[in-house]
Amino acid sequence: MGNLISSKTAKKIHQIDDKIGITTAGCVGDIRALVRIASVHAQDYKIRRGRQITIKAMSTFLSNLLHTQKMLPYEVQILIGGIDMDEIPRVFSVDAYGGTSEEGDVTATGTGSPFAYGVLDNRYKENMSTEEAIELAIDSVKAAIGRDSYSGQAIRVVVITKEGYLEKDIKI
């Protein structure tokens, strides 16, 4: 099929639960299917157990799901993150074949990630304020958009705290 950019404004970050978000790179149809599956799983977990699923448990669920499809994989790269019940923020990366790992202080995904990492590695510092972290995230995505045609032309920032999930679109 070759290279195809079907949308430069496709939504790339989605709310899964009250304090869990998922950001994705890859095939939009696969992404939307996985977001629906993950959201239903999170709600089912909450109904059955009376509490939010942990970030690690959700990443394991998605990892297992993707691993079962490795002969005809979902074409996605996922970052899933949020705040767990212990109020500790966590971010996991899940690849198209089900590989998963907990990420460190900064991470990026997608074809524009090398450009984003250039900004993140240069400007990240421990104990940044929320406003500083948002500015850093915006600048790293702008760097990706400026150098990578597959990165799209829209920026959506999500902040997840113990109070909940806040989403904001940024004008470029």
Residue 28: per-residue pLDDT = 85
Contact (CB, 8 A) for 107 and 100: no
* Residue 6 CB neighbour total at 10 angstroms: 8
CATH code for residues 13-170: 3.60.20.10
Residue 73: per-residue pLDDT = 86
Q: Where are the domains of the chain?
A: 13-170
Question: Which two tokens mark 102?
Answer: 């907990």
Give the model confidence (pLDDT) of 60-95 as tens digits.
999 999 999 988 888 999 999 999 989 999 999 999
How many whole angstroms from its chain centre is CA 13?
6
User: If you write DSSP's letter for every residue of 3-65 in order, what string do you get?
Assistant: -----SS---EEEEETTEEEEEEE-HHHHHHHHHHHHHHHHHHHHHHSSPPPHHHHHHHHHHH
Residue 1: per-residue pLDDT = 44
Q: List the chain residues with pLDDT less than 70.
A: 1-9
Residue 126: per-residue pLDDT = 94
Residue 62: per-residue pLDDT = 96
State how far the Cα of 108 lies from the Cα of 11, in Å rounded to an integer: 16
Residue keyed to tokens 């999170």? 42
Residue 58: per-residue pLDDT = 97
